[in-house]
Amino acid sequence: MTLIHLWRSFRKSFSHALAGLSYALREERNFQIEVVVGIMAVMLTFFFPLSSIERSVMLLLIGTVLTLELFNTAFERLLDMLKPRIHPYVKVVKDIVAGAVLIGSVMAFLIGLIILLPHIWTLVTLV
């Protein structure tokens, strides 16, 4: 495979990925909320004097939650396509995947608090 074919293949794959992200941003309320919260968390990671490891952990957590939400969306769409009428097992699978997003989100929130709370506390006590 030539370099030109590799580049075209990469561009096509990248284009499909951007289309998926665009869909999720337009159509998925939870993803929209998580993106806004993620942006705020990124702003806080650069506002406070965090170590590079703390910043890396924060970015990894944000990316993980957004990725989980995208997987949740994909599973839901796939299941809706395969079983348009609600089947008890379809509901269970959707609930389980939503539970995975919930666990990831709660863990990210708690770890974010552990990292950011000392800096927020210092800021509050100075005021």
Which residues belong to the active site? 69
In the chain (127 residues long), the average pLDDT of successive 10-residue segments reads 88 95 96 97 95 97 98 93 80 93 97 96 85
Q: What is the pTM of this model?
A: 0.89
Please give the class, per CATH, of domain 28-126.
mainly alpha
Other C-beta atoms closer than 10 Å to the C-beta of 113 total 11
Residue pointed to by tokens 């006590």: 125
* Structural domain boundaries in the chain: 28-126
DSSP 69-93: HHHHHHHHHHHHHH-SS--HHHHHH
